[in-house]
Chains A and B, each alone.
Chain A
Amino acid sequence: MQVRLSACLCVIALCFASCSDESSGQNGSLEFVLEAESTVREGIAAGDAPDELQDGWNVSWQNYVLTVGHVEIVSATEPSLSFAAEDRFVVDLTKVPAAGKSLWRFDDVRAGRWNVFYEVGEPEDAALRDTSVNEVDFDRIVAEDLTYLIRGTLSSSEGQSCPPTSKAEPGDKVANGNVNARGDACYDRSALTIEVAVDAGALYGPCEVDEIAGAVVPSGGLQSASLTIHGDHMFFNGFPEGQEGGTTRRAQWFADADLNLDGTVEQTELEALSVSDMAAFDEGYQFGAAPEGALANLWTYLAAQLSTQGHFQGEGECPIDGVEHDH
């Protein structure tokens, strides 16, 4: 461990890490850009396409703030050789350009293939505020040790919330006459506010694309690789092992979690609901690959889904917390 820690200390903890691999004369550079999937930048539309929300809801994001960093590369041919860029950035992914934002760089490292690891997680004391994040949100992220601070809107002209009858607190709200498959009364809801502030940290890696690991540093050149954050996993109908193309995206469960029907889903409401409370979680949902503890309530479920959103080079996969994760 000490040997490894010593190697990792070869980091310049500023905006860019620069590590020297003096054991080879054939060195190059590797930069990492933070990339937001289109589901973050553009939201998700209602529709029948596999990557659309198939139950009539649209989602748009006002903020999708994430704490991300501690990028580490490990030589594929000499695993004892590694470098780390410790910097953690708090970034609003809705404001990241489509081409991504360069945040980490390794210079003068040995040419060849490197395995890639990175983290999303708590900001700790050393997080850096990206200009895309205002100071109020940054201070909240740091104070509350948040991984994600997400604000968005679910909308549908025909939308409705159908909270479980046994836990609904409709007050003087008037039902619209519809009921769901369990007989829960429904209430018109054309727009619903999403605000999620959650610790959903994860360690990703070794990352790969099409089963090819990591990134290649060219001799005497610069290679770029992207750490891609997806924005639709909270709407998945399970925790897929295969390609996400087999996954259905639906938002009704979230709309039904608005127990007091005030148009905003609160953490306390999600914590008060179990997965089995929700009629929207029908037989089309499968939870057998949910991380341990993820099904305790809807809040843990949401956090677990968010913790799977780290990818590599677009749709490339990164095992989560050091383990295989192939979807």
Chain B
Amino acid sequence: MKVSLTWLAFLLWTSVGCADTGGGQVAFDLQAEGATANEFEVGAWTLRLSEARLVFGPLWLCAAQGEQASCETARAEFLDAAVVDLLDPQTQALGTMTGSEGFVGTYWFDYGVVSLLGQDEPLVLPAAAQTGGSVFIAGVAQSADAQVAFEATVTLSQSANGVENGVPVVRRASEEIRHVLDANTRSLLLRFDAAQIVQGIDFDALAGQDVVSITEPPTPETAQAVSALRVALQGAAVPAFDWKEEE
């Protein structure tokens, strides 16, 4: 088994690093869907969302693959950012990915705010400026004996005091992103789930307030909620990826 793992790893490495050097140019649609109902459970609370918008982009697809993969060369990219309506299950056009043929195994992306090397302040793309941050979610949380109306806005970017500047916020791989880009590649569909984004919020800690504004910098009362949103957007709530080919 262990030999097989090594062999598999080496096969993947050689296929990416040596054999697959890419080819002609490709262009395909980048699309998104909101993938959840606007009402769902979070622990003992029922959430009903009235608005949920997320800013997605830029996105880079890279030839490397696997956890903590680096991206020496982007195979395809979407250099803008677009607003996704998380409560709209219809397919939404975000823009066009352009790049070159070949294997992709890793995705890097931002939520509308881009860290730039050598600059302390990140670049806020128009979609994020329009939204007021990376994500805006509003709704009402209802439990058996309490109700909390909330509005949440958080901004994600690599901060000057963070791990490093000049790299996107999310850098990851998954089985579903692995794909060979070629002339038949039609679109990449991103499926978002607003329930995953708010799932970690401790609404018990917010109970007792009729209306809660979850913004940055947080108050001691909203710090857990802000952190939960930030962690989710870097972890459990990253979109699912679905490739579409020409029929």
- Let me know if B51 is at the binding interface, CB within 8 A: no
Q: A8 to B171, alpha carbons, bound, how many Å?
A: 34
Contact residues of A between 54 and 95, Cβ < 8 Å to B:
70, 72, 74, 79, 82, 84, 86
- Let me know if A321 is at the binding interface, CB within 8 A: yes
Size of the chain B interface, CB-CB below 8 angstroms: 55
Q: What residues of chain B lie closer than 8 Å to A82, measured between beta carbons?
A: 10
B69 A319 Cβ-Cβ under 8 A: yes
Most interface-central of B10, B105, B200 (chain A CB within 10 A) = B10
Q: What residues of chain A lie closer than 8 Å to B9, measured between beta carbons?
A: 117, 203, 205, 319, 321-323
Q: A281 to B235, alpha carbons, bound, how many Å?
A: 15
Given contacts A206-B13, A287-B235, contact A246 B66 (CB under 8 A): no
Size of the chain A interface, CB-CB below 8 angstroms: 62
A284 B161 Cβ-Cβ under 8 A: yes
A241 B167 Cβ-Cβ under 8 A: yes
A-contact 0/1 string along B143-183, CB 8 Å cutoff: 00000000000001011011110111111111000000000
B66 A79 Cβ-Cβ under 8 A: no
A-B contacts, 30 listed (Cβ < 8 Å) = A4-B3, A70-B6, A117-B10, A119-B5, A183-B220, A205-B9, A238-B162, A241-B68, A241-B164, A241-B167, A241-B171, A247-B164, A274-B200, A276-B228, A283-B216, A285-B163, A286-B169, A289-B68, A289-B170, A292-B174, A295-B236, A320-B66, A321-B9, A321-B67, A322-B10, A322-B13, A323-B105, A324-B71, A325-B68, A327-B68
- Let me know if A291 is at the binding interface, CB within 8 A: yes
Q: Which of B3, B64, B216 contacts A324 (CB 8 A)?
A: B64
A276 B162 Cβ-Cβ under 8 A: no
- Let me know if A5 is at the binding interface, CB within 8 A: yes
Q: What residues of chain B lie closer than 8 Å to A84, measured between beta carbons?
A: 3, 6
Contact residues of A between 279 and 303, Cβ < 8 Å to B:
279, 281, 283-292, 294-295
Considering the complex, give the chain B residue whose CB is closest to the CB of A239: B68
Q: Which of A246, A276, A283, A286 contacts B200 (CB 8 A)?
A: A276
Q: A86-B2, A327-B68 are in contact. List 13 more A-B contacts (CB 8 A).
A: A8-B7, A236-B163, A242-B166, A274-B231, A283-B230, A284-B159, A285-B163, A288-B171, A290-B172, A319-B13, A319-B64, A323-B173, A325-B68
Q: What residues of chain A lie closer than 8 Å to B163, measured between beta carbons?
A: 236-240, 246-248, 285-286
Q: Could you tell me which A residues sit within 8 Å of B by CB distance?
A: 1, 4-5, 8, 70, 72, 74, 79, 82, 84, 86, 115, 117, 119, 121, 164, 166, 181-183, 203, 205-206, 236-242, 246-248, 274-279, 281, 283-292, 294-295, 308, 319-327
Chain A contact residues, majority secondary structure: loop
Q: What residues of chain A lie closer than 8 Å to B156, measured between beta carbons?
A: 288
Given contacts A70-B2, A288-B171, contact A323 B12 (CB under 8 A): yes
Going nearest first, the 3 A-B pairs with the smallest beta carbon separation are A323-B66, A322-B9, A238-B163
Q: What residues of chain B lie closer than 8 Å to A294, measured between beta carbons?
A: 235
